[in-house]
Chain A
Amino acid sequence: MATVTEKERSELTHPDVRSYGEVNTDILQMLSRPGKAWWFLLGLSIAGIGLLAFSWGNQIINGIGLAGLNTPVGWGAYITTFVFWVGIAHSGTLISAILYLFRARWRQSIYRAAEAMTVFAVMTAGLFPLIHLGRVWHAYWLFPYPNQRMLWPNFKSPLVWDVFAVSTYFTVSSLFFLLGLIPDIAAARDQAKKGTLRQKFYSLTAFGWRGTDRQWHHFGKAYLYLAALATPLVLSVHSVVSWDFAMGIVPGWHATIFAPYFVAGAIFSGVAMVITILVPIRKVFGLESYLTTRHFDAMAKLCLVTGLIVFYAYLTEFFMAWYSAEDPERRVFWNRVFGHYWWATWIMLICNGLIPIMLWFKRVRHSIAALFVISIFINIGMWFERFVIIVTSLSHEFIPFAWNVYRPSVTEMGIVIGTFGWFFFWFLLFIRLFPPVAIAEIKEVLPPPMRPKKKEVGR
């Protein structure tokens, strides 16, 4: 047991990581002086935030009329992008909580970045209800609070459920994320030079963590229970988001399949986003021995499974529309594929249904470049999925006299693009400030250092 043979080593999760100390050196070097690429990306993100601030500010001053929303399409690009970002968030919790409960041995090196992605994606998603409100200064009306008019929100409405679900999700996933960071911040603190600002910052944020047995004991249990709480939460949040639609009687929305369909779609898009984010990080920071092809293979398989569920759900929707013999339902689905928004539907079907078929091949799953490209297609496809569900259904809602076409305005496009800047701004700050790969947890899957046995010394 003392030493690990080369054959055993090749079967480990991280065969090229030799010692615990190496993990600290490799991960903490990411927190040192940023390179030009980082500053460039940060500048780009800040430009995105500028675009967001300008477009939104303009909309606040001049009114929601700047958006292309009108009867009957009252939900357009804003709600589409809201669902998109909430969906992105989900795979972070899947990877950190659900795979933790299942003891998947490939989650350790990716979960921290995925969790950060969750928190920042929910922060981004949370902007959209505010943007969509128009009169954003009334945003607190969403929450139940005692008021002079003695009014309470309508707890029978899925929109109020959504307020509870998304705010709970943000709180719980942030707590989970921040709790998991503490031991790794302590590692950054211990490596920082005494008396520097860096050391003071990490001392404060590590809360005095020392890695004692008592701390690890309670930490491990708390982490387990938080994972157990986060697991049903993540499934509930996107179910609730799907009920925003499914509880309505709009043709194309009113289906019981929506909750599982949306949850699978969320994880599908989220894992794709994790791949999109991790590929450049791996390259820039030289993390090849931590993010191995094994990790990408596992993520690609997750993408493949959830992608198949999503595609199956598409086919079920079409089949049920035909089989129900409901004329409005049939027309809505015919209109999706061959109507005004045919191109959006075909982007969705090709990006989410056809392109992921390539993931069946091991050669594709082991090619980082191919995965990166496929993941971007999936991101695009999943944005269009929400667009198709929301806009095609609303534009052909009830009486044909009221049908109309919706086109996103310049303001809407500016805001949608700007929120990517907002998301990546936080993410870029995060990878400079806190260890983006879980230092302590990687050590759990490394072989522990044992005393050299006397007989084996000569080997």
Chain B
Amino acid sequence: MTPSGTAERQGLLASYEHLDATVDVIKRLRSEGFEEITAFAPFPEHHIEEALGYAASPIRLFTLIGGLTGAATGLAFTIFANMDWPIVVGGKPILSIPAFIVPVFEMTILFGALFTVVGVFWNMRVPDLKGDVVYDPEFSSGRFGVYVTAPPARLDTVRRILEEQGPALIQDDPTGRAHG
């Protein structure tokens, strides 16, 4: 994915010191019909998520499918291994399912966790080591940010809304490459 630079959409990034200012800007932008918004925060901030209106994260599916896959794999594997070379140990039946539950349980957890991590990396769109987007290093410290893309004709409206709340910094992004 290369930055188009055709200026079909251009971006603006504003940094704010205050949380309520950030939330107000997001609400204002959405009421004006701008939906291409990315917010930045130094920690997971639920007011911002609410202002942006979020659907449920698909991570839950990754976890569920991973866990079920792990359980099925574990059960199939322990049964297969005991059928493959059946040896009676300690007078127990060849298929001692209660004893197999421990490895099955561990594999459920293992696969569930691995799928969750793959899912979260996929959905967060990381790793992404291209440093070519507008960014304010203060976002990981104390500032909140709002990034909006809009057609050049409407950019002035965006800029006016962003400036209403007294941003600490406004940066232009002529390529309009949306953040992840």
Q: Which A residues fall within an 8 A CB radius of B?
A: 19-21, 24, 144, 150-158, 160-161, 164-165, 168, 171-172, 175-176, 179, 182-183, 186-187, 189-191, 203-204, 207-222, 225-226, 229-230, 232-233, 236, 240, 439-441, 443-444, 448-451
Contacts and interface: CB of A to CB of B under 8 A. Distances in A.
A381 B140 CA distance: 43
A150 B85 contact: yes
A191 B141 contact: yes
Interface residues of B, number: 69
Nearest to A222: B120
Interface string B35-67: 000111111110011001010010110010001
Interface of B: 17-21, 38-45, 48-49, 52, 54, 57, 59-60, 63, 67, 77-78, 81-82, 84-85, 87, 89-90, 92, 96, 99-100, 102-103, 105-107, 109-110, 112-114, 116-117, 119-121, 123-131, 133, 135, 137-142, 179-180
A355 to B, nearest CB: 35
B43 A444 contact: yes
A172 B109 contact: yes
B107 A155 contact: no
A146 to B, nearest CB: 9
Given A190-B137, A233-B109, A449-B19, 11 more contacts: A152-B82, A155-B99, A176-B113, A207-B127, A208-B126, A208-B131, A216-B45, A216-B49, A220-B44, A222-B117, A444-B43
Contact of A155 (B41, B103, B110, B123): B103
Contacts of B89: 154, 156-157
Contact of B103 (A160, A217, A226, A232): A160
Given A217-B54, A222-B117, A443-B42, A168 B59 contact: no
Q: List the 10 closest pairs (A to B, CB-CB), nearest first.
A: A20-B142, A222-B120, A190-B137, A208-B128, A152-B81, A187-B140, A221-B57, A448-B19, A207-B127, A161-B102
Contacts, number: 207
A175 B82 contact: no
Nearest to B136: A190
Nearest to B129: A208
B17 A449 contact: yes
Contacts of B20: 448, 450-451
Contacts of A19: 142
Nearest to A172: B113
A210 B41 CA distance: 9
B126 A215 contact: yes
Nearest to B93: A156
